Structure 1
Amino acid sequence: MAAWYPMAGCNLYNVSKAALRWLAIGLAGEIAQFGIRHYLVEPGFFRTGLLDPSANIAGTDKNSRLDAYADLNLTIKTNFAAFNGAQLGNPVKGAQIIYDVVTSSGVAAGKELPELPPLGSDASAEI
């Protein structure tokens, strides 16, 4: 979903997701002639450690931060902490669905699926 919604303070993450989306769209035209199919799963929010304040964000020297970003930094930190562990998606179930899609088994058996399937109820509703 990050490729679809700009979020102040998360632009580098979001643009990387958008770049992958456009790469997948372009790649589809190149590999179709070889009978190769591909999927780019566009997940919603899953309960992983991504938003854990201590997990992924390297500390910075407080003196090197721009004062103009102080409010935004605090908002992001507060929102991530509040949302951490409360995401809708179950990563174990999500991984199983991805496996099913790739192998055309389980929940994906016999179904025609889009090349860019949303994963999770929030992604399905928003994308």
Structure 2
Amino acid sequence: MSDSEVAEADDEFEVPQLYKYHAFVCLTQRPPGHPRGSCGALGVQPLWDRLTKTIESQRLTDIGVTAAGCFGFCSAGPMMVVYPDGIWYRPTKPEDIDEIVESHFKQGKRVDRLVMVLKR
């Protein structure tokens, strides 16, 4: 395929917006005692399970959830980032997941107490 054919194909391709919100959740699991730590070591798996089961059971088909690798804030986890808002959350218990789903995903209101503030 020539460069002009690639450009033409790119021009014709439109990505439909599938989701109102799309959550990416770090599921990185490093060995115990690793100096960087990991979201897995900090208990992300039960939160991931709760999130995916809640989204599915409530049939929230406009919410995407994707397992992600390391976000680089290993000792701060578990964490997720929600787009298109770019909100970074640090849920630590199942009730936090319920609150994110109810408030952010269903009502469009971020959960301030769970937001991770990124310092520049």
TM-score, normalised to structure 1, is: 0.28
Name the structure with the higher strand share. Answer: 2
Whose RCO is larger (CA < 8 A, sep 6+)?
Answer: 1
TM-score, normalised to structure 2, is: 0.29
